[in-house]
Amino acid sequence: MSRSSADADIVYLVFNDQGGLANLGYDAPPGRTDPDEIIDDIVSGKYDEPRRVVAFNLSEGWARDVSLYVRVACSHRARFERHAGHVAGVELN
């Protein structure tokens, strides 16, 4: 899938539950502009308790909660991997 230059301006943060009500940490490695990488990391278990994914586009001045999109994509990916002989579980609140 080709990505437009506008897509390259979007950075994704994964908010991970680190125990307790006010203990949400986030992960934002440099260059995290590909939602497929985020989905791969969640499905592979990189995050213990992913709770929210937010997309930021600073050049256009917006931020969006994309947790539902990511949850659906992770579910589809996990289902595909189970059919391919892998087991993966994903839960975003």
pLDDT in tens, 17-46: 766 655 556 665 555 678 888 888 888 888
Q: What average pLDDT does the structure give for the chain?
A: 75
- pLDDT band for 57, please (50, 70, 90 cuts): very high
The CA distance from 75 to 52, in Å, is 15
The CA distance from 33 to 49, in Å, is 21
Q: Which percentage of the chain shows pLDDT scores above 90? A: 16
For position 11, what pLDDT does the model report? 87
What pTM did the predictor assign? 0.69
